Chains A and B, each alone.
Chain A
Amino acid sequence: MDSELVFLPPLRRVAICGGTHGNELTGVHVVRERLREEQRKAEEEEDDVVSVACVLTNPRAVQQCRRYTETDLNRCFTRAILSSAVSDRTPYEIVRSQELNSLLGPKGSAQAIDLVCDLHNTTANMGLCVIAYSDSDWFCLHIFKYLQHHMSDVPVRYIHFDLPCREAYSLDSLGKHGFALEIGPQPHGVVRSNIYTFMKTAVELTLEWVRLFNSGTVFEGGSVEVYTMVSNIDYPRERHTHNIMAVIHPKLQDQDFCLLHPNDPMFQTFSGDTLRYKGPEPLYAFFINECAYYEKGIALSLARRRCVAIPTIQMKSGLQHRGEEGTSEED
C-alpha cells in the first residue's frame, strides 16, 4: 500500500471531551484548562482551520467525583438508548447521552461532529492508549502514529474493540470519527501531574495533526501495531457471595501488554496458591486490575497483536465523510 495515496475530507469540527467518568480527573482538568485558555484568547484568534469544542460530558458525576451517578454514561450511546423515550424516572446519564447526541451528533448523520476525542484514566499500568472501534479508520490510525512518533516519554498503543458501528456504545461513537485517549496508571479521584502533562500533550498533538491535515500536509503511510481485544477474564469468585477469591498475581500486576502464555501465573488466592492462564493461545494482557471493571466482571482483558498497513493520506475538500462505513474511499 506504500505508493497509494488516499484523499480524505478535512476534519473541520472536533470535540475534546472530559469527565465522561466523573472521577477520571485528567480529562476533567485538561478540558477545564482548555476552556480557561479559550476565554483568555476569545477575541484574538478565529480558528478557520478547525473549530474545537471542549465539553465536560458528565458534570453531575464530576461534581460528586464519582464514575457515574446512576448508570455508566460511556455505555449509553447505542442507537437503542439514544432513541429511547425519556421520562422523569430516566437515569441522569441517559438524559445526558441524548443531550450530547444533539450537541455532537446526531450519531450517524451528516451533521455529526467530525472527530470526538474522549479523555479517560485507568488504574491499570497501560501508558497512553488510543482506543477505537475500527482498525481501518485512517484518521484514528494516523493520529495514533503521530502521537507515538512525538511522545517518547510514555508508551503509546492502539487498542481496537472489534464491534460493528451499530453496537458501538461509547461517547466517541457520536462523531463521524472518534477515539478514546486512555492513560494510566492513576487512581480515580486523583490528578497526577505527569499523567496530566502527557494527556495535555496528546490532545495538543492531536489538534496539531488535524490542523496540519486540514492545511494539506501529506501524511506518509506505513505499518502500525494494533491490539485487537479478544476476551475478558473475571476474578475467581465465591459462589454465593460473588466476592472475589483471588487477586491479580504479583507477576502479572502492572505488566500490561505483556504476552500471557498458557500456564503463566494470573491470580493468587488469599492462601497463596497460584492460578494460571488456561487459554489455548498466548495473548496480550491489558486493563489489568482496572478498578471500575470489578463490577463489570473483568480482572483483565486479552488481545491479539498484528501489524496493520495504513495508506498515505491527504486532505481534499469537497469529499464527504463516509460516517458509519468508514472513511476509506476504496472498498
Chain B
Amino acid sequence: MSSNHVVTFNQARRVAIFGGTHGNEMSGVTLVNLWMGNGGEIRRKGVETKPFITNPKAVEKCSRYVDTDLNRAFTAENLSAPGGKDLPYEVQRAQEINRMFGPKGSADAYDVIFDLHNTTSNMGCTLILESSKDHFNLQMMSYIKKAIAPASCPVLLNEDPRLKYATVRSVAKHSVGLEVGPQPQGVLRSNIFEAMRIILKHALDFIELFNEGVEFPPCTVDVFKVSERMDYPRDANGNIIAMVHPNLQDCDWEPLTPGDPMFQTFDGKTIPYEGVGAVYPTFINEAAYYEKQQAFVTTRREALAANAIRKV
C-alpha cells in the first residue's frame, strides 16, 4: 500500500472501555465504576462509549482471576466451547463478552475497545497494539503521543504469533490496551489513576475528531516490538533462584546490552544478559508473570509507517 493512499474507515459508532479484566488492577476498576455512575467525562459526539467491568467476580475478590486468566481466554476454541455453566468462569465470561461486544471478527463487533490494566513494572503509560497494520490505531497512537508531549507513552507491539495471546479486547475491530504502572496489585495510587484518565481522554478526543471527518496525514510511530520472553532461573522444583538485578529493576524501555547484569541470585551472584545485540526490556518484574514464567520481555525498536486516514 503506498503511503499516499488514504485509508478510510467507517465512523467509530460503538466504543467500549473495559476495566477489571484483572480484578486486582485497581485504576481500571475505579475508572469504569466511576463512569458507570456518571458517564459525562467519556461522552463524545457521534459515538456511544460504554464502560464495562469484564470480570466482576475477580473484582469482588480483588484477585487477578477466579478460574483462569480472562485476558488469555478469547481463543476460538474457548469462544465456541459447549458446556455452559460447567465451563470455567472466565470462559463463560469470554463467551458472554463475545456476544455483547463481538462476535470477534464479524462486522457487528464493536469498533474500538480500550482495556485498562495496571502493572507492577515501571512502564509508565504504555499503549499496547496487536497489529502493525491497523492504520486507525497507529494514527491514534500518534495523536495521543503528541497530545501528552513532553511526557511520553511508549507503544508496545505484540504481534508475534508465538508470544501474542487471545485478549478480551481482541473482540473489537480496533483493540487498544492501556497498561499503566508501577502500581501494586490491589492498590489505587492517585498519580497512576490520573495518568490513565488523561490518556483515555485523548484517545476519545481522537475518535471524536475522526468521526467529525478530520483527515489525519501520514505519520511514523515509534514502537517497541516484543521479541522474546525471559524467565527467571529456576530450580528443579520450579522455584525461582534469582531476582531481577538491581541494575535492571525499574529500567523498563532502557537499552540492555549483552554483558549487562540481568539477574541476581539470592546469595548475591550476578547473571548477565547474553543475547545478541541491544534490546529494550519491559514488563520487568510484573507480579502476575511469575506464574507465567516471565521475568521480563525483550523488545526491539521499530518505526511503523501509518497511512493517512479518514472517515468513509
Interface residues of A (CB under 8 A from B): 29, 32-33, 36-37, 65, 123, 185-194, 196-197, 243-244, 247-250, 253, 268, 270, 289, 291-292, 294-295
Report whether A253 and B185 are in contact in the complex, using a CB–CB cutoff of 8 Å.
no
Question: In the complex the two chains form, is B285's CB within 8 Å of A192's CB?
Answer: yes
CB contact between A190 and one of B186, B190, B245, B287 (< 8 Å): that residue: B287
Q: Which residues of B contact A (CB under 8 A)?
A: 30, 33-34, 62, 120, 182-191, 193, 239-240, 243-246, 249, 264, 266-267, 285, 287-288, 290-291
Question: Complex: how many Å from CA A148 to CA B239?
Answer: 32
Question: What CA separation (Å) do A194 and B250 show in the bound complex?
Answer: 11
Given contacts A32-B239, A187-B287, A243-B33, contact A194 B246 (CB under 8 A): yes
Chief secondary structure at chain A's binding surface: loop
Closest Cβ neighbor of A37 among chain B residues: B267
Main secondary structure on B side of the interface with A: loop
Contact of B266 among A32, A123, A243, A291 (CB under 8 A): A32
For the complex, give the distance between the alpha carbons of A33 and B184 in Å: 25
Most chain A C-beta atoms within 10 Å of own C-beta, residue among B183, B185, B190, B249: B190
With CB as the reference atom, state the residue of chain B lying closest to A252.
B190
Residue of chain B at shortest CB distance from A254 = B189
A66 and chain B: residue at smallest CB distance: B63
The answer to whether B185 and A270 have CB atoms under 8 Å apart is: no
Do A29 and B184 form a contact, CB below 8 Å, given A193-B249, A289-B189?
A: no
With A123-B187, A193-B245 known, 6 other A-B pairs at CB within 8 A are A37-B267, A187-B187, A190-B285, A250-B191, A291-B184, A295-B62
- Report whether A187 and B245 are in contact in the complex, using a CB–CB cutoff of 8 Å: no
CB neighbours (8 Å) of A270 from chain B are 30, 34
Q: From B265, which residue of chain A is reached at the shortest CB distance?
A: A33
Q: 5 pairs across A/B with beta carbons < 8 Å?
A: A29-B266, A187-B287, A189-B290, A249-B190, A292-B186
Q: Which of B191, B239, B249 meets A253, CB within 8 Å?
A: B191
A38: min CB distance to chain B, Å = 13
**A-B complex: 8 closest residue pairs judged by Cβ atoms:** A187-B184, A189-B287, A291-B186, A33-B266, A187-B120, A193-B243, A123-B184, A247-B190
The answer to whether B120 touches A190 (Cβ under 8 A) is yes
Contact assessment for B33 and A192 in the assembled complex, using a CB-CB cutoff below 8 Å: no
**B120: A residues at CB distance < 8 A:** 187, 189-190
Residue in A33, A185, A190 whose beta carbon sits within 8 Å of that of B267 in the complex: A33
Contacts of A190 in B (CB 8 A): 120, 184, 285, 287, 290
Does the CB pair B187–A196 fall under 8 Å?
no
Asked if residues A65 and B290 are in contact (CB atoms below 8 Å), the reply is yes
User: Does the CB pair B30–A291 fall under 8 Å?
Assistant: no
Q: Which residue of A lies closest to B34 (CB)?
A: A270
Contacts of B239 in A (CB 8 A): 32
Q: Establish whether residues A192 and B243, one from each chain, have CB atoms under 8 Å apart when the complex forms.
A: yes
B67 CB → nearest A CB, Å: 14
In the bound assembly, the distance between CA atoms of A294 and B243 in angstroms comes to 28
Q: Closest CB-CB distance, A206 to chain B, in whole Å?
A: 18
B34, B183, B193, B266: which contacts A196 (Cβ < 8 A)?
B266
Set of chain A residues within 8 Å of B246, measured between Cβ atoms: 193-194, 197
- Docked Cα-Cα span, A91 to B244, in Å, equals 35
Q: Tell me, in angstroms, the Cα distance from A192 to B184 when the chains sit together.
A: 12
Instruction: Tell me whether B186 and A253 are in contact (CB under 8 A).
Output: no
A188/B249 in contact, CB under 8 A:
no
B100 to A: closest C-beta gap in Å: 23
Residues A253 and B291 in contact in the complex (CB < 8 Å), given A123-B184, A187-B184: no
Check A191–B186 contact: CB distance below 8 A.
no
Distance between B249 CB and nearest chain A CB, rounded to angstroms: 6
Q: Which residues of B contact A248 (CB under 8 A)?
A: 189-190
Within 8 Å by CB of B193, from A29, A36, A247, A295, lies A247
